[in-house]
Structure 1
Amino acid sequence: MNLHREFIFACDWGSEASSSNNNTPSNCEDQSTPGLCPAAHTNTGQDIMKRAAAKQLIERYFYQLLDGCGNPNCDNKYCASSGEARNLTPNEAAAEAIKLFYKEARLCDSLPNKVPRTEANACDSSASTTCTTSKSKDITDNKEELQSGESSIENHESTSQTPETSQNKSQQDDHKTPSHNNGAPLTEERICQLCDECLRSKAPQPLIRALGEAFTQPAILARCFQSKLRLDSDSSGGKNTDKESKAMCSSSDPDKDVDSVAGPELDVVSCRKAFGYLAKVPSEYYSSALVTALTTLAENMEIDLRITKKMSIEDAVNCFVIAFEVPDLGCSDYLEIALPALCHAAEHLPVKAQAKLARVWAQHCKDSLRHILETLQQLITLRVISTNYTRHFQLQDDESVTLATKLMKIVYYANMLAGVMESNTLREEPVVIASQLDPLGDALDHLYPLSSMKNSKQSQPDDPLAIELDINVLDARKPYLPFEEFYNEPLSDTIEMDIDFANYKTEISNGKKFAFLKYPFILTAATKSLGLYYENRIRMYSERRVSLLHAVVGAAPPMPFLRLKVRRSHLIDDALVELEMVAMERALDLKKQLVVEFEGEQGVDEGGVSKEFFQLIVEEIFNPDYGMFTHQPDSHTVWFNPTSFETEAQFTLIGIVLGLAIYNNVILAVNFPMVVYRKLTGKKGSFEDLADWNPILYNGLKYMLEYEANDLEEVFYQTFRICYQDVFGNTIFHDLQENGDSMFVTQENKKEFVDLYADFLLNKSVETQFKAFRRGFVMVTDESPLAALFRPEEVETLVCGSKNFDFNELEKSTEYDGGYTSESQTIKDFWSIVHSLSLDDKRKLLQFTTGSDRVPVGGLSHLKLVIARNGPDCDRLPTAHTCFNVLLLPEYESKEKLQDRLMKAISYSKGFGML
């Protein structure tokens, strides 16, 4: 009988013993007893010696509690030979032994006869420790221990129990307590039976043993909670049925894959019911033991997936589905130990297994998606806020965070599949921009590989999991959970984007380092915009160096910037003419830093003049009198004029202006409907896009789709000929089908009518104008990871800024200079006046101080306004350095005078008072 192995088994599965390990945190700094620390993974000689010493002491406590020291006069209350000690089961003794070890309780001098000699033990202490999370544990010993642990405990109970405990055991046998599974998979009925018995007898050992047997061995867990169909086929001994099932599992049809995993094999509903019943049992009875079991399960799965490669895709998927259906354990060890171990095992899932898991979660576990996501978010947040990251240990080096992010990607795709998906055939034709050869630029890029942006389109290859699932975020019309729930704000606030961006762009010798930019769903739009800013700035600097190198060799005059010299009275003509010349001669110059100069005005453009330029040009371009865009009165948006007299080149130049605004980190006051941003990122407009394009038309068509009566023709009296008005009020007719005027809309063809109607309004009627517009936009952004990092909703935020005008955030983030502090009376009066302003006046204040009336991505807290004292009381108006967001404010003598001067300044600021 291997007493050492018996003791480990008792420690692992004793509920109180396992819970006692909670006293040692997972990030334990004190490694004096590393064998007991769940997070210890070291294998140094010193650690091995410490583990061996710790095990010896705990074993002595264990047998002292269970068998005593043999001294009839013993006065040690922690010894079974004294009259003070109570009778303990092996599980209880294991738990108490660990507690006594931590307390350094008294040990008897004489040892009980059954204490094993550690040096004579066949189990190598370096290969097996009481730390259940140690990755150095030998797989063979681990499996042996799990298989023989139960019989060894039973043998020990039969040989070393006191008469009282033997009597208790007999009484339990009389009650027909559910015995061990002996390797049989769990079922809903068995879980219910074990839970009932646990609640009745207050003895959790049978439940713990059953969970332990199943959850430590992937081969057993994968067969748990099988459907009735599968069980019946197995009991009939039909090998042909099993072969058919395996053939279905390997089928290339995604639907058959899902059914084969979660249909005839795994009954998710039964699994969920069983765990719902388990949740009725107090978690302290089983939580710690289940954490240990899940950790062991993850380690064994990792070995099977990474080393032995003997685990099938179906078994791996079933194990993960069941593991994440486990109810909330309410145990910190789950987040600190078990969940990171499961994430580590999930990293080794092949792409086909990841895709299958995403499909199963999407089709059969929709109700669990939020719980899985929240659990992963808790793990990431806990690690981020509790860890002090440095340059030597960065956020990207924390495996608990990075592996949880990788697993969250599977949940992300499952969330899209579980929602409303559109056809992946509605794609805009790709815009091809002819590349321009630049030998000097190529040579410079060879010298500065990090600054090479020419191949940035390939820097983010298509995600293999997305390819396997044949899924694109553009097709997700309505995900099951909002995309915003995948943001992790603590992580986004903590991440050092310069480091992450370098990882994103650079390959190191041993492979690619982890970059959160490759998992953009977890980052807020504000954080990703910083990564885009780095990308664009490096591109600008690269073009500047190329230009200077051209000048050095005499190839061309130096043009380090994209300079636009415009007149305020002819703003559109001057800007579009100059941009057209640049686009025709050398389109690469569009990727240089923009510098704007207003003719006849002094000022150096450090960003503020460009902001004003974009603000003014947008106001004119989208003016209805200009005729390029029309206003939608219901949605207060602008749309392309299908009957515009402007040339395609004009729309191309408007696209260039929009692209330049993003490229130069300028927010615009444009009011496009969301369908424009979807089309810019490559998705054609469809019926659902009419909701914010023309709400009245959308509601009318939706009512037609929902109308089920047989008199649809008489009620709507609609044919396949539609009419619309141009900007001059003329009515124009268009047939959606040939001879559309004679084809009435019926119950059978109403869906076709709606789709054709939406396609004409959003795509075909403005195809020429939008294609030219998108071409101009792509000319600037083609080498940017814009589409890879941002969803269409985020691109809108990137272009238009946030819609949250929270000036309390601005007040908290504002800095002061020149003698002002937050306690200065002038500052208090200033904020009192600002908070009382109307929204229009607040916009004017932003326009005056920053050059833009839009809120930056992430809110006003990201604006970083500076208010500086500009001398004592005087009659001068406030001024502003818009390039640096600095407001120069004299120290006015009264609040009334401050309000008067401020309102005059912000009301008459264009071309005056802004430097």
Structure 2
Amino acid sequence: MSSSDQITDPDEASRNNSEASSSSINNENSISDNKEDVMKRAAAKKLIERYFYQLTDGCGNPSCDNKFCASSGELKPLTPDEAAAQAIQLFSQEARLCERHPNKIARKQDSILNDKKSDDSPDLCIANSTLPTNDVIIASGDQNSKNNLKFNCAPVPTFLTEQLLYDIIDECETNESYSPLIRTLGEIFSSIENLSRSFVQTEVSSPTEVTSTVENTGEIKGLNKEEVRSLEGEKDKDEDSCAESSKNSVFPVDLSAVRRAFTALFKLKTSIFENAMVNALVTLAGNLQMELPIRKERENQDDIVNVLLIVFEIPALGSGDFLETALPAICRASQWLPVEVQAKLARMWSGIGRSSIRNILENLQQLITLRVIVTPFHRDFFVQDENVITSATKLMKILYYANMLAGVLESPELRCDDMSGSMDSSYLANKANKSSPPTDPLAEELGIHVLDCRKPFLQFTEFYNELLSDTVEMDRDFANYKSELGKFSFMHYPFILTPATKTMGLYFDNRIRMYSERRISILQAVTGLPSQPYLRLKVRRDHIIDDALVELEMISMENPNDLKKQLVVEFEGEQGIDEGGVSKEFFQLVIEEIFNPDYAMFTVQPETQTVWFNPTSFESDAQFTLIGIVLGLAIYNNVILAVNFPMVLYRKLMGKRGSFEDLQDWNPVRMLTT
């Protein structure tokens, strides 16, 4: 068809114009429909947010009668996830909405500009909504200024997730402004509630995610059944009992997510957020210190456990201002932890947190060492009076038990002493009359004992603090240990002291008993009764074993309490006063004679170089008992002997029954061959 034909055909031109006009109208209608959809979604989002804050904050009217308003007093406290799910339901039911009361106090996130909005402010235009918002839209100025101000005034989240922290860091680096990150860290890490709900092991959506879903789908029915149930904290509505039992519980922290998030955070310069985070942790410690004493009777304290798990994952906790300011505050607050919370924390550290045990221990050791160095101790202020050192030691005890739980434990049944058939009645009677040492409440709560630990996660030697052990005055510490005033004593926390320092505590205990026996002897002498203030042994060098064992046997039969007196040894035909040196020589000669293979009371394992009882010995059991008395006297009189018994012997002395592992330790070569 020619061009002239197209122009001269009026019917066809009319049809073309009609089709073009119809297409234009359809496009305009489509654009209008899209705008209406966007407006509907925005309106739905605003309404859900209003329902959400009505459920969590209320309208502020003390006489409100709306049962779906927090101000009415009829609504139980809801978590943000529960409130988000219920807000969706109220929106779908078109439930009643309360108007904001005039006396309602604005939320922290409220924009000051929102309250000051007026018609004569041409430069600022704020979204007209009864809900507070921080989305400020600048009507004039360049686009970068608009974006930056809107970004810096963004609302602070009430809890953190791994992805949310990533997004905040990315946005801060993009906008070259770290104010939102600093505000977020300050808000989260200063609040027990906010921090305890961060990085939890749950797929429950946040209110932001709920409104985002509504905004993207435009329909509430876009949420499937499982999503709605997860928002309500119920995986299965048909199991009401399970839902009730978990309603008030806090999900455990996902420590893997916490570590990844902290790794990303500390890739930034620490100076950007260090001050804000340290100040937030100090505030958090103050909140813990005020709240913990009044929460001892509560059943569920998972939020406290979550808070401490997250805090002790901070990589820089053992350096800088974290070490000097934040960690001492956290330790001071942690000393108020109830035993139940300590046990939960120990179990968590021994399980999912076992990889952090070494790092936490090093941080606590650094804190204690630093305080020992910088604190001027004097006659009126001892190391036991330094609150940071004592509180860090108490916190280390939780880690100590977590270290055992994370290692290899034996059955507690092996602690049952069932050897009555091999002991005489007098020994059992004396053992029954002895007062058992006090048990640690945390050990009872966990159901473990240090003797149950076959192999700890970290060696016990890593818990020693040598500088602290050298600084502790054991005479003062022992006095606190015996005091009934509840004073702090490191003897209640022996894991932190070196063996040499703990030996001094044993020495003071034995000396006090010796002095007590000596005073009793003096009183007996005053009353005219025969008395002997010392335990005197007179032996011949050539017959040292026979003489010593005979005299000790007579003493143990006639007056066993004399064994508690200070030992004084005299060699026949030799002059000299025993001031300790003669006793040490006596014990060394006895040990050399007893463990001589020619004496045949003990045998030596060539593989382990340990000594054991000779099963073919002709000596009676009484002789071995007397050997035990000699060794006990050596310990009691603070004499160190080179006796290499296998560990099973000491475990038996502590009331443990033998196990297969004990046989393997005693003779590993024979166990391999069998």
**Greater Cα shift, 520-529 or 343-352:** 343-352
1:499 to 455, 476, 479: 476
Q: Is the 8 A contact 2:233 2:247 kept in 1?
A: no
Q: Is the 8 A contact 1:632 1:694 kept in 2?
A: yes
Q: Which residue is equivalent to 1:379?
A: 367
**Greater Cα shift, 325-334 or 546-555:** 325-334
Q: Which residue is equivalent to 1:148?
A: 108
- State the SS of the aligned residue for 2:256: helix
Amino acid of the structure 1 residue aligned with 2:498 = T
1:695 CA displacement = 2.7
Once the two structures are superposed, the pairs formed by residues 355-754 of structure 1 within 5 Å of their partners are 355-427=343-415, 428-429=417-418, 434=429, 457=435, 460-508=437-485, 512-555=486-529, 557-700=530-673
Deviations 1:71-92 (A, max 9, x none): xxxxxxxxxxxxxxxxxxxxxx
Amino acid of the structure 2 residue aligned with 1:172 = N
Q: Is the 8 A contact 1:564 1:597 kept in 2?
A: yes
1:630 CA displacement = 1.5
* 1:152–1:540 distance in 2 versus 1, CA, 3 Å: farther
Amino acid of the structure 2 residue aligned with 1:267 = D
Q: Distance in 2 between matches of 1:663 and 1:372?
A: 37
1:244 to 229, 242, 245: 242
Q: Which residue is equivalent to 1:317?
A: 305
Q: Is 2:324 the counterpart of 1:332?
A: no
Once the two structures are superposed, the pairs formed by residues 233-312 of structure 1 within 5 Å of their partners are 234-238=230-234, 244=242, 247=245, 264-307=251-294, 312=300
Q: Is the 8 A contact 1:146 1:213 kept in 2?
A: no
Q: Distance in 2 between matches of 1:666 and 1:249?
A: 61
Once the two structures are superposed, the pairs formed by residues 70-149 of structure 1 within 5 Å of their partners are 148=108
Amino acid of the structure 1 residue aligned with 2:178 = P
Q: Which residue is equivalent to 1:180?
A: 155
* 1:492–1:266 distance in 2 versus 1, CA, 3 Å: same
Q: Which residue is equivalent to 2:329?
A: 341
Query: What is the RMSD computed on CA atoms of the aligned residues?
Result: 3.2
Q: Distance in 2 between matches of 1:675 and 1:145?
A: 69
- State the SS of the aligned residue for 1:624: coil
* 1:147–1:488 distance in 2 versus 1, CA, 3 Å: farther
Q: Distance in 1 between matches of 2:412 and 2:141?
A: 67
- State the SS of the aligned residue for 2:656: coil
Amino acid of the structure 1 residue aligned with 2:546 = D
Once the two structures are superposed, the pairs formed by residues 45-84 of structure 1 within 5 Å of their partners are none
In structure 1, the gaps of 5 or more residues are 1-143, 251-259, 437-453, 702-915
1:434 CA displacement = 4.3
Q: Distance in 2 between matches of 1:573 and 1:517?
A: 39
Amino acid of the structure 2 residue aligned with 1:288 = N
Q: Distance in 1 between matches of 2:323 and 2:115?
A: 35
Q: Which residue is equivalent to 1:804?
A: none
- State the SS of the aligned residue for 1:696: helix
1:283 CA displacement = 1.0
1:234 CA displacement = 4.0
In structure 2, the gaps of 5 or more residues are 1-103, 118-122, 125-135, 206-226
Q: Is the 8 A contact 2:234 2:243 kept in 1?
A: no
Q: Is the 8 A contact 1:287 1:331 kept in 2?
A: no
Q: Which residue is equivalent to 1:817?
A: none
* 1:145–1:235 distance in 2 versus 1, CA, 3 Å: same
Q: Which residue is equivalent to 1:216?
A: 190
* 1:331–1:645 distance in 2 versus 1, CA, 3 Å: closer
- State the SS of the aligned residue for 1:286: helix
Deviations 1:226-257 (A, max 9, x none): 2235556541453967973774799xxxxxxx
Q: Is the 8 A contact 1:361 1:414 kept in 2?
A: yes
Deviations 1:287-334 (A, max 9, x none): 111111111111112222223667941111111111111221575322
Amino acid of the structure 1 residue aligned with 2:242 = E
Aligned residues: percent identity? 56
Q: TM-score, normalised by structure 1?
A: 0.53
- State the SS of the aligned residue for 1:342: helix
* 1:392–1:243 distance in 2 versus 1, CA, 3 Å: farther
1:154 CA displacement = 9.2
1:178 CA displacement = 9.4
Deviations 1:603-642 (A, max 9, x none): 1111111111111111111122222212212222210122
Q: Distance in 2 between matches of 1:491 and 1:156?
A: 60
1:170 to 146, 161, 164: 146
* 1:270–1:574 distance in 2 versus 1, CA, 3 Å: same
Task: From the CA coordinates, give the structure whose radius of gyration is larger.
Answer: 2
Q: Is the 8 A contact 1:635 1:694 kept in 2?
A: yes
1:475 CA displacement = 1.1
Q: Distance in 2 between matches of 1:245 and 1:630?
A: 65
Q: Distance in 2 between matches of 1:243 and 1:544?
A: 68
Deviations 1:48-79 (A, max 9, x none): xxxxxxxxxxxxxxxxxxxxxxxxxxxxxxxx
- State the SS of the aligned residue for 2:598: helix
* 1:649–1:311 distance in 2 versus 1, CA, 3 Å: closer
- State the SS of the aligned residue for 2:583: helix
1:410 CA displacement = 0.3
* 1:230–1:419 distance in 2 versus 1, CA, 3 Å: farther
Deviations 1:385-433 (A, max 9, x none): 0011112221111110000100000000001101111112113448856
* 1:164–1:340 distance in 2 versus 1, CA, 3 Å: farther
Deviations 1:86-106 (A, max 9, x none): xxxxxxxxxxxxxxxxxxxxx
Amino acid of the structure 1 residue aligned with 2:161 = T
Q: Distance in 2 between matches of 1:498 and 1:608?
A: 23
* 1:278–1:546 distance in 2 versus 1, CA, 3 Å: same
Aligned length in residues: 522
1:209 CA displacement = 1.4
Q: Distance in 2 between matches of 1:265 and 1:331?
A: 27
Q: Is the 8 A contact 2:318 2:367 kept in 1?
A: no
Deviations 1:793-845 (A, max 9, x none): xxxxxxxxxxxxxxxxxxxxxxxxxxxxxxxxxxxxxxxxxxxxxxxxxxxxx
1:644 CA displacement = 2.7
* 1:211–1:426 distance in 2 versus 1, CA, 3 Å: same
Q: Which residue is equivalent to 1:95?
A: none
Q: Is the 8 A contact 1:177 1:197 kept in 2?
A: no
Q: Is 2:152 the counterpart of 1:195?
A: no
Q: Is the 8 A contact 2:317 2:323 kept in 1?
A: no
Amino acid of the structure 2 residue aligned with 1:488 = N
- State the SS of the aligned residue for 2:457: coil
1:647 CA displacement = 1.7
1:674 CA displacement = 2.1
1:435 CA displacement = 5.4
1:146 CA displacement = 12
Amino acid of the structure 2 residue aligned with 1:307 = I
Q: Distance in 2 between matches of 1:230 and 1:683?
A: 48
Amino acid of the structure 2 residue aligned with 1:379 = L
